[in-house]
Structures are given as structure tokens and as C-alpha cells.
């Protein structure tokens, strides 16, 4: 798989949506992209810049692959991430940066990687040691993923989520699933350069709802929409 590159999208007359040269398939997030947009790999993404202290970015274009295996299996041992934790692990040995491995269930791991790397992650998970039954499913298209960043993020989240977000209960690197505004949501505390940050992901069709709800919940705290950050690509 080639490295994802950013290219300017062209816009057909009378159609605000970007198209790729030669009619190549274009993938879209379930969340409306705040302008300006560009095409990264196969995905139309927002490149909006904001300096707001509290920001919400749509990361749905990232690769997301789910592994199911017994917790005592060799494959699980090789990943080394227990249920309830999220760590960066070099799952795809050939990649320069490690992937975020989320212990998303007692027998379930979600691996998040750069745009268009799902096939590599998929292959790497299938190649993990051990013969135990396992299931590897590419859910890149099946999940909406957003990142809420800012010192006010816990307070904003506390208006729509009953989980105890205090440091002692939900420190950096903690992963859990609970209800956020009435929707089952995977929540990962994954701070960015010392600033509190959460990854939230839900099944794809609820993505716009989650995004809108977070923007509304953060309104009084000055939330702003951010594009897909360069370092996530």
C-alpha cells in the first residue's frame, strides 16, 4: 500500500463535492467535513485549522481493525495490551510509527492506524503467533471516530457521559465503553502533548449524531471544529 498523500480535490460544476481524477473511488466520513477539504489517500477529509483551546476533530478516515481472540491466547499475549488499556504498539513492523492498540473488550482489540493502512494491520493481526481461533475484521468503514482535545474536555464529556472521568478513575491510556448521550461509545483517554484528549468511536451511522452532540455540549466552553490533524495521517 502506498503512503497516503494529500492532494487537492477537484470540484465538478454544479456539485460541491470533490472528485478524484479518473473517477477513482472516493471514501467519505459519516460526519460532514468542515471546509476546507482535501483528499488524503482515498478519503475526503477536512483540513480546517483552529487555535481553539477545545477542539473536535473527525478521525473517521483512520484505519480501524478489530481482533477477537481469547485473552489467554498467544496472539493476545503478543499484543500485550490488556482490556481497559490503550497503548501504542508496533503491530505493523514496516511502519515508522506504532499503532494505537485499544483493549476494547475482554476478548477484543481495536487497532487504529494511519489512513489507508487497514490491509497492513489486517495482515499483521492474522500473522500474530498462535493457532487459537480468532477473527480479524476491518471496521475502517464501520466506525465513526472523533478526537476531543482540551483541558475542558472532561467537563464537556461529563454533561453527556456518566463515567467517572477523574484522573484516578480514567487516567491517560484508559479505554472503556459506556453510554455517551445515549449511544454505546468506545472512549479512549489519549492525551496529546500533555493536553487532555479523548478518542470516541461509535458505529458509523451514529457518527454525525455524536459529533453534533459533542459540538453542542462544548459550545459554552468555546469548542471549535478541527480538521484531520497532520500527525494522525
Site residues (CB under 8 A) for another protein? 17, 23-30, 42-43, 60-61, 66, 68, 83-84, 105-106, 133-135, 137-143, 158-166, 169, 176-179, 181-184, 203-206, 208-209, 213, 216, 220
Q: Cβ 142 to another protein, closest distance in Å?
A: 3
Segment (H or E) for 160: none
- Report the C-alpha gap between 233 and 230 in whole angstroms: 5
Q: What is the DSSP letter of 142?
A: T
Beta carbon nearer to another protein, 52 or 192: 52
- Report the C-alpha gap between 126 and 103 in whole angstroms: 17
Beta strands in the chain (DSSP E): 6-7, 10-11, 18-19, 27-28, 37-40, 43-46, 55-58, 62-69, 86-89, 99-105, 108-115, 134-138, 143-149, 175-180, 183-189, 197-203, 224-226
Q: Cβ 57 to another protein, closest distance in Å?
A: 17
Start-to-end C-alpha separation, the chain:
14
Beta carbon nearer to another protein, 48 or 204: 204
Beta carbon nearer to another protein, 105 or 173: 105
Q: Cβ 210 to another protein, closest distance in Å?
A: 9
Beta carbon nearer to another protein, 28 or 88: 28
Q: Cβ 193 to another protein, closest distance in Å?
A: 27
3-class state of residue 132 by DSSP: coil
Q: Cβ 132 to another protein, closest distance in Å?
A: 9
Beta carbon nearer to another protein, 25 or 96: 25
Amino acid at each position: 500500500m502506498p503512503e497516503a498523500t494529500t492532494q487537492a480535490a477537484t470540484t465538478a460544476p454544479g456539485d460541491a463535492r470533490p472528485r478524484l481524477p479518473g473517477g477513482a473511488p472516493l471514501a467519505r466520513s459519516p460526519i460532514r467535513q468542515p471546509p476546507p477539504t482535501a483528499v488524503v489517500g482515498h478519503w475526503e477529509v477536512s483540513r480546517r485549522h483552529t487555535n481553539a483551546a477545545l477542539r473536535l476533530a473527525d478521525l473517521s478516515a483512520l484505519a480501524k481493525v478489530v481482533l477477537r481472540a481469547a485473552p489467554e491466547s498467544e496472539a493476545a499475549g503478543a499484543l500485550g495490551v490488556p482490556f481497559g488499556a490503550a497503548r501504542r504498539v508496533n503491530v505493523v513492523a514496516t511502519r515508522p510509527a506504532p499503532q494505537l492498540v485499544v483493549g476494547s473488550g475482554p476478548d477484543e482489540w481495536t487497532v487504529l492506524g494511519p489512513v489507508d493502512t487497514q490491509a497492513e494491520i489486517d495482515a499483521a493481526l492474522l500473522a500474530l503467533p498462535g493457532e487459537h481461533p480468532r477473527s480479524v475484521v476491518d471496521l475502517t468503514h464501520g466506525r465513526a471516530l472523533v478526537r476531543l482535545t482540551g483541558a475542558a474536555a472532561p467537563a464537556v464529556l461529563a454533561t453527556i457521559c456518566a463515567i467517572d472521568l477523574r484522573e484516578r478513575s480514567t487516567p491517560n491510556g484508559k479505554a472503556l465503553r459506556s453510554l455517551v448521550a445515549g449511544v454505546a461509545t468506545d472512549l479512549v483517554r489519549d492525551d496529546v502533548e500533555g493536553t487532555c484528549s479523548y478518542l470516541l468511536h461509535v458505529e458509523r451511522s451514529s457518527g454525525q449524531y455524536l459529533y453534533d452532540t459533542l459540538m453542542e455540549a462544548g459550545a459554552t466552553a468555546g469548542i471549535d471544529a478541527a480538521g484531520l490533524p497532520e500527525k494522525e495521517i
